[in-house]
Structure 1
Amino acid sequence: MHSKGCPDEYPISLLINGYEIAVFQLTKYNLDDWTYGYLFSEGFIQSSNDIESIVINEELSTINVSLRSEFDEEQFFSKKKHYTAGCGRGVTFFSMTDVKEFERVTSEKSYQLSYLLKKRSEFAQNSELYLETGGMHGACIVDENGAMTIREDIGRHNAVDKIIGYAIKNHLQPDRLILLTTGRVSYEMLSKAAKFGFPVIGSRTAATKQAVQLAKYLNIEVIGYLRGKMATIYTSAGRVENDVTGESSFQRIIEGGN
């Protein structure tokens, strides 16, 4: 019987301009990407240009970030915290009401369902840490040429932050990118994707009702249960065409209300 190794997680302290934000449980891969992505997703920065430097010290388990502008910790932490579901006790500073203030997605790029299923399969086959341990989450960007970039972490939120960090570091534009994730698409996962502006989000598992409501409001297409020839399209943005024939399990869920 083949035995897989245990997935790693470490407590790592994030400091901004010398002020400790929190201690996070992270996998020690692509920590610079995570830092950019987390700071962007939670509204600490608006672009990679807002960061002057990042110093990662794995021995001390610290990430020290210097911003180009002042950081008003009292004003920021006066905002209400929202504890997230699953993968540890994460926290976000964006409520559902806050997320509704994000810009709506206007991309007109569409995809065939068979293409999304193919890319989801390629994503799984190339998730090295998952294949090694069996206990990792992953997030993946697919660009308009079909090229894939994958980031992995013990937490699904962390993996999405890593891939968003990669995108903003490299000044990628979201309108022709697909986000694939192994994790459930909950409202805080949707908020991270919406903050960057992904027009299409695909997951191997489900989306929550709250995430679907937000996705409809922001004109984001959400596809769940991307496995084999399976798929559930929760939204009606018109970016996915069902071209899968034969023995397939396809469902389109359109619920009223935003």
Structure 2
Amino acid sequence: MFNKTCPEEYPINLFVNGRNLLTIQLTEVHLDDWAVGYMYAEGIIESSDEVQEIAIDPYRGNIHVKLDNQVDMEEFLKKKKTITAGCGKGATFRSMKEMSHFKRVKDARSVSTELLRRKMKEMYKLTPIYHQTGGMHAACIIDGNDEMIVREDIGRHNAIDKAIGAALKKGLIGRDCVIMTTGRISMEMCSKVARFGVGVAASRTASTNLAVALAKELNVDLVGYVRGQSAYVYTEGKRVMKLVNG
């Protein structure tokens, strides 16, 4: 008997210092983590400490963020907004040229494909919305003690933002972490990984050509098809041990 519930998505408006930054489809869990992760990815904040207040009004679909920094939202909103690829589309104010000028990732941790495969299985056990609906993306941060922060959303981009936002709020350092996702790694998702200073990102599925090109430019290793006994390394793989390609 089929008894799954429907995956949920809602239009959510993000207001930063009173200005409407964007409206995006989100699943209404861990919205505060998403706001922090998204603003960090877009360069609006450098630290979660800059967030003075987050007020969430799910009835109206609004997130109001008050920042304690010198960001000029009027100037920021003049930037071109790009709708990102794939289901549960995201949006970024970053151009590919700007992403390619991010700092190259240095001194990040290495990881074995065996650990990635094991953690991918563990991540699925920590995705209650996926098990309820059968239609939800997940992302997780694996910290330096191999503990996991797992976040879910209808959009794979949003799940990454939620996981990074949660890590920032916890005070984790990107170079000590690994990121995993159930969804395809696209260019802007790779930029989020590099922005946080993470050296290895793994997916249960593929990476796009532009994501791989950006990863090579920013010294990030991308691992795809992490399932069963497989793990395919798209990049040079200096930080990925015991490679199993193909």
When normalised by structure 1's length, the TM-score is 0.91
SS at match of 2:49: helix
Matched, 1:101 2:101: yes
Contact 1:106 1:219 in 2 (8 A): yes
Q: How far 1:204 sits from its partner (Å)?
A: 0.4
Q: How far 1:67 sits from its partner (Å)?
A: 1.2
Q: How far 1:158 sits from its partner (Å)?
A: 0.6
Aligned to 1:35: 35
Contact 1:127 1:150 in 2 (8 A): yes
Contact 1:114 1:242 in 2 (8 A): yes
Q: How far 1:10 sits from its partner (Å)?
A: 1.1
SS at match of 1:74: helix
Q: How far 1:71 sits from its partner (Å)?
A: 4.4
Partners of 1:199 and 1:69 lie apart in 2 by: 28
Aligned to 2:180: 180
- Relative to structure 1, is the Cα distance of residues 69 and 142 closer, same or farther in structure 2, using a 3 angstrom cutoff? closer
Larger displacement relative to structure 2 (33-42 or 71-80): 71-80
Aligned to 1:199: 199
Partners of 2:40 and 2:86 lie apart in 1 by: 21
- Relative to structure 1, is the Cα distance of residues 71 and 109 closer, same or farther in structure 2, using a 3 angstrom cutoff? closer
SS at match of 1:64: strand
Aligned to 1:211: 211
Aligned to 2:61: 61
Larger displacement relative to structure 2 (62-71 or 191-200): 62-71
Aligned to 1:126: 126
Contact 1:140 1:148 in 2 (8 A): yes
Contact 2:186 2:210 in 1 (8 A): yes
SS at match of 1:94: coil
Letter in 1 for 2:4: K
SS at match of 2:152: strand
Larger displacement relative to structure 2 (83-92 or 221-230): 83-92
Partners of 2:212 and 2:49 lie apart in 1 by: 32
SS at match of 1:3: coil
Aligned to 2:190: 190
Instruction: Please show how residues 84-95 of structure 1 align to structure 2 within 5 Å.
Output: 84-95=84-95
- Relative to structure 1, is the Cα distance of residues 108 and 93 closer, same or farther in structure 2, using a 3 angstrom cutoff? closer
Contact 1:140 1:149 in 2 (8 A): yes
Contact 1:17 1:71 in 2 (8 A): no
SS at match of 1:138: strand
Partners of 2:23 and 2:112 lie apart in 1 by: 41
Decide which structure has the larger Cα Rg and report it.
1
Partners of 1:113 and 1:147 lie apart in 2 by: 17
Contact 2:233 2:243 in 1 (8 A): no
Unmatched runs of 5 consecutive residues or more in structure 2 = none
Letter in 2 for 1:94: R
Q: How far 1:108 sits from its partner (Å)?
A: 5.1
Larger displacement relative to structure 2 (16-25 or 220-229): 16-25
SS at match of 1:151: strand
Aligned to 1:161: 161
Deviating 4+ runs (over 4 angstroms): none
Partners of 2:137 and 2:68 lie apart in 1 by: 32
Instruction: Please show how residues 9-48 of structure 1 align to structure 2 within 5 Å.
Output: 9-48=9-48
Letter in 2 for 1:14: L
% identical equivalent positions: 47
- Relative to structure 1, is the Cα distance of residues 162 and 108 closer, same or farther in structure 2, using a 3 angstrom cutoff? closer
Larger displacement relative to structure 2 (223-232 or 58-67): 58-67
Partners of 2:109 and 2:25 lie apart in 1 by: 36
Contact 2:37 2:163 in 1 (8 A): yes
Contact 2:13 2:21 in 1 (8 A): yes
- Relative to structure 1, is the Cα distance of residues 108 and 157 closer, same or farther in structure 2, using a 3 angstrom cutoff? closer
Contact 2:17 2:73 in 1 (8 A): no
